[in-house]
Structure 1
Amino acid sequence: MLKRVERPVLKDIKDACVLMKDAAFPAPFDSRLEFSCSARGFWNIVHTGMLIPEIHQVYVCAQGCLRGVVLTAAEMNAIDRFSNIIIRENNILEGNNEDLIVEGMGEILSKLPYTPKAVLVYTSCIHHFIGCDLNLVYRRLREKYPDIEFTDCYMNPIMRKSGVTPDQLMRKQLYSLLDKQELDKKSVNIIGNNFATDDSSELVKIIRENGFTLREVPRTKTYKEYKDMGKAAINITYNPVAIEGGIYLENKLNQKHLYLPLSYGFDEIEKNLDILCENLGVQKIDFTENKKMATEAIINAKNIIGNTPIAIDYTLTIRPASLAKLLLQHGFNVVSLYVDSFIADEEDDVKWLKENYPDIKVYSTMHVKMRFVDRHSEQKILALGQKAAYFTGSNNFVNVVESGGMYGFDGIVKLCDLMIDAFLNEKDAKKLIQYKGLGCENYDTNCK
């Protein structure tokens, strides 16, 4: 007879949870064996690469490593823009990996029903281990196919804990196909984001209402529109993982890089927007009305949500501590953060939380003990983010990743509306969080 095996609930989660007062900055938890929960809404390198229109992706790696990226392409209905070249044991022993890539690429291109404008070639850890001459590979590909552009991308998990991470490198290489050209002083790019910045945000409005052309990869519909990003005089980043891309383009194309970090602090938001105005050479704006609207939205949300416990995770926003500070300053009952490490921009926010709310719980999302944490609560919990929903077992959650394009005072207003909706209306968390790349499933215009 079959016997149901229940997942044990672990009461002792020491090392996987600390109080805010005891949380080391920037890394509250030791790096060790990791657990990956089934909240899959954040994007990976396949999703991000697919943002460039009219390109084809080719992954070169061992068959076992392909499972995840193949499934990603299939789930987002983009398998027609995806191919792979499999490395086998004999290729390692015979040392013919350069030929394997060039010849495999030839076979792929000959069978495609279209000619891609460019090919993103993702090599893997094995190429670095065996010293594959990738410079030779790309030189041969460009000579053989002069009408197609090739760029190097990487599926290299050994880079996760040191140097430039795979996510940072992908967001840099996303712009490697841009060419140096005459810069248009009335043209601006926002770079490094998987989602287009909201048109209603102060950031976008300042750019457009002062006569500047705004470009952003998630907005592009053709490869030419993507290439036109090389004209911009200024590149704006607000996600820290995109900074490498901003520096790269500043050195390659002489485009000025402005880092205007996402924040939920009114003073920091205003400071960043003032910096934008200064660099665009336009008059600074009085944000009194914007602050008033954001404050009213927060107060309205508090009146509805009341003292309901709130859990925040890092997949909803890159600034969970900043968001927690804003909510706590307005009387919300933030009880926990699900974050494995804090970015440098959060240092002052974390310090404030330590001093004012030292008993907030900080949970790792990757510690192995989190596999066995009690994910059921009799009390209603408002979860901000998919991982917060997973670990609390709450169906009252805001289903957003990477801030979803929200920025500035306008972003705060929109987030408050989403919090109210999540509080009043349950979702099917188990169903929704299993989809990879929120915004790409089935797939909408975010991924072409």
Structure 2
Amino acid sequence: MTKKPYSISAGELAARGPERIPEAFVPNCHLIYSSPATLFYNSPGAIGFGVKRAGLVIPESVMLLVSPGCCGRNSTILSAEEGYADRMFYLLMDETDLVTGRHLKKIPEAVAEILETAKPRPKVVLICITCVDALLGTDLERVCREAREKTGVTVVPSYMYALEREGRKPPMAAIRQTVYSLLEPAEGRKDPRMVNLMGFFSALDPESDLIALLKQAGIRRVNQVAEMNTLDEYREMSRANFNLMLHPESRFAAEDLQNRLGMPYIEFPRLFAPEKIHRMYQLLGAAVGVTFRDEVYYEAAKAARDRFAAARKGTRFAVGEVMNGNPYEMAASLTEMGMEVPTIFANLTPDDFPFLERLARRSPETRIYTGIDPSMVRYRPEEAPPVDITVGKDAGGYYPGVPNLEWNSEKEPFGFKGFTDFINGLEEVLA
């Protein structure tokens, strides 16, 4: 076994291409190392908006977690800490259940009991199963149909399958599709001045230029599922003219709505480079037939960028993945501002390669570590390239004592405002 933690340069990783991602980045190729910095990633429901909390974004819903006791204990603690404990219910599996699958017959009865006891009475029950049911080959859709027929309530399947993190539909992509699965064809005509923002489980910063510019362009209603208080409000989202997909893990959900409801979608990723944000607004305007007058926001973002670049050129960054942004895109943007990024801690998907290639052109020697590889147990910051600041909770964990910007609030940053807030945060931490 190597005496050093596995890492690879941005240049070498980009040259391999998405078809040859190293096994160290692929969880099902090795044991998983769970440091305090990587617990956020290793379980889809570990912290923040994992599968369980994300599914409960559906208004007037509760969740029944069907699992062994270990998963139940984890969820009990996290749901209490994050404020959704009163919406979580549990059906624990014993050893006989694991062998025979008899727990599946108990689910309709458990749903009926939830409806009798939960206050207020839920209108939707999500059934969440775990890796053990993946191994058993459980047909959860059939189970949900049986529960719905018995109780009359809407019952929706959801999957907390850590085993499928690198599969065709990872858990956080699957739960996004679940969140929008209850939208049905709208009665009457669609509203040409309504749009849905897809991608995040909490709402965008209300001061985001994206919301302001959409309304400036004549969009009267900008929907976000996190702002829907009732199921009726949620179902109004099916009247939207189109969806804006802000996060790549929403692609399955957006494609499903396009296929089922004839609702087109446009990708608009979160970026941290003013020129590229401006370009995205131009492309969006061309697609929907409007002109976005973003000059004020654009100039403010460039001024913040130029101020920081002049004062902090050469500042050395370590960038993690537990933050509101793509680590490869953020690292590329920092290098384009004259910063140095010796180190990145992040996993890798094919969606990351355009950003990785952009980074590799500027900083091919950047070392990329994947926190899930067992060799990371030997990571020592004193043996790694020195840095002046870290971005992301996980990067802060790997470099204790170095100034850290967590950049992980639930008020989602986006667009020019997100970029300027990021620069302001960096300046505050480095002051």
Band of TM-score, shorter chain: 0.7 to 0.9
Deviation for aligned residue 1:190 = 0.4
Query: Which of the numbers 45, 48, 53 marks the counterpart of 1:47?
Result: 53
**Match in the other structure for 1:97:** 103
Of residues 228, 234, 242 in structure 2, which corresponds to 1:234? 242
Residues 174-253 of structure 1 aligned to structure 2 (within 5 Å): 174-182=179-187, 183-209=190-216, 210-253=218-261
Structure 1: gaps spanning 5 or more residues: 1-9, 425-448
Partner secondary structure for residue 36 of structure 1:
coil
In 2, the alpha carbon distance for the partners of 1:398 and 1:386 equals 8
Deviation, 1:303, is 4.2
Please give the residue correspondences for 1:117-136 in structure 2 after superposition, counting only pairs within 5 Å. 117-136=123-142
1:134 alignment partner AA: L
Query: CA deviation digits over 1:311-353, x for unaligned, max 9?
Result: 1122224432222222222222322111221542542x43343
| 2-structure distance, mates of 1:135, 1:408 | 38
Give me the whole-angstrom Cα distance separating, in 1, the residues matched to 2:122 and 2:12: 53
Q: Which residue of 2 aligns with 1:4?
A: none
Give per-residue Cα distances to partners, 1:82-128, cap 9 Å, x unaligned: 00111223335555333211112222322223211211111233334
The match for 2:172 is 167
Question: Number of residue pairs matched?
Answer: 411
Does structure 2 conserve the Cα–Cα contact (< 8 Å) formed by 1:235 and 1:246? yes
Aligned-partner SS, 2:92: strand
Match among 312, 315, 335 for residue 308 of structure 1: 315
What SS does the aligned partner of 1:405 have? Answer: coil
Please report how far the alpha carbon of residue 241 of structure 1 lies from its aligned counterpart in structure 2 after TM superposition.
0.6
Q: Do the aligned partners of residues 76 and 286 (structure 1) sit closer, same or farther apart at CA in structure 2, a change above 3 Å counting?
A: closer
Conservation of the 8 A alpha-carbon contact between 2:324 and 2:412: no
Single out whichever of 375-384 and 191-200 deviates more from structure 2. 375-384
When the two chains are superposed, the root-mean-square deviation of aligned CA atoms in Å is: 2.7
What is the rounded CA distance, in whole Å, between the counterparts of 1:304 and 1:393 in structure 2? 25
Tell me how far 1:382 sits from its aligned partner: 0.9
8 Å contact from structure 2 (residues 342, 387) kept in 1: no
Match of 1:436 in 2: none
2-side partners of 1:21 and 1:129: how far apart?
A: 38
- Is the 2:50–2:172 contact (alpha carbons within 8 Å) kept by the matching residues of 1? yes
Report the Cα offset of residue 42 of structure 1. Answer: 4.6
Would the alpha carbon gap of residues 180 and 354 (structure 1) be closer, same or farther in structure 2, given more than 3 Å must change?
Answer: same
Shift of 1:236: 1.0
Partner of 1:410: 417
Residue 157 (structure 2) pairs with residue 152 (structure 1) = yes
**Structure 2 gaps, min length 5:** 41-46
**Offset, 1:13:** 2.0
Alignment of 1:305-344 (within 5 A): 305-344=312-351
Rounded to whole Å, the distance in 2 between the matches of 1:73 and 1:171 is 19
In structure 2, what is the Cα distance between the partners aligned to 1:272 and 1:91? 51
Deviation, structure 1 residue 373: 1.4
**CA separation of 1:400/1:46 partners in 2, compared to 1, >3 Å: closer, same or farther?**
farther
Structure-2 residue corresponding to 1:13:
4
Deviates more, 1:390-399 or 1:415-424: 390-399
Alpha-carbon distance between aligned partners in 2 of 1:130 and 1:34, rounded to the nearest angstrom: 22
Q: Any idea what the Cα deviations from partners look like across 1:389-427, whole Å, max 9, x if unmatched?
A: 111224521222389522222221111011111222xxx
How has the CA–CA distance of structure 1 residues 124 and 339 changed in structure 2, closer, same or farther, with 3 Å as cutoff? closer
Question: Which residue in 1 is equivalent to 2:44?
Answer: none
Moved more, 174-183 or 242-251: 174-183
* Counterpart residue number, 1:61: 67
The answer to whether 1:292 aligns with 2:290 is no
Could you tell me how far apart the structure 2 residues matched to 1:98 and 1:12 are? Answer: 47
d(CA) in 1 for partners of 2:23 and 2:400? Answer: 23
Of 386, 395, 398 in structure 2, the residue corresponding to residue 391 of structure 1 is 398
Q: CA deviation at 1:371?
A: 2.3
Q: What is the DSSP-based 3-state SS (H/G/I as helix, E as strand, rest coil) of the residue aligned with 2:318? A: strand
Residues of 2 paired with 1:77 and 1:351: CA distance?
A: 40
Once residues 131 and 363 of structure 1 are traced to their aligned partners in structure 2, the CA distance between those partners, rounded to angstroms, is: 34
Task: Map Cα deviations across residues 273-300 of structure 1 (whole Å, 9 max, x no partner).
Answer: 2233234432x13544433221211122
Distance in 2 of aligned mates of 1:19 and 1:214: 41
Distance 2:90 2:198 in 1: 28
> Shift in Å at residue 173 of structure 1?
0.4
> 1:174-210: CA deviations, max 9, x gaps?
1112222132221110012123222333321222222
2:174 and 2:139 map into 1 onto residues whose CA distance is: 19
Q: Select the structure that is richer in helix.
A: 2
What is the identity, as a one-letter code, of the residue corresponding to 2:277?
A: I
SS of aligned partner of 2:343: strand
* Distance in 1 of aligned mates of 2:352 and 2:373: 24
Aligned CA distance change for structure 1 residues 77 and 411 (closer, same or farther; 3 Å): closer
TM-score (norm 1): 0.83
The equivalent residue for 1:427 is none
CA contact (8 A) 1:42 1:401 kept: no
Query: Which moves more between the two structures, 124-133 or 387-396?
Result: 124-133
Kindly indicate whether the alpha-carbon contact (under 8 Å) linking 1:311 and 1:337 is maintained by their aligned counterparts in 2. yes
Query: Shift in Å at residue 22 of structure 1?
Result: 2.3
The two structures have a TM-score, normalised by structure 2, of: 0.86
Deviations 1:49-83 (A, max 9, x none): 23233211111122233232222212113211100
Cα deviations across residues 347-386 of structure 1 (Å, max 9, x unaligned)? Answer: 2x43343333222221222122222311459966211111
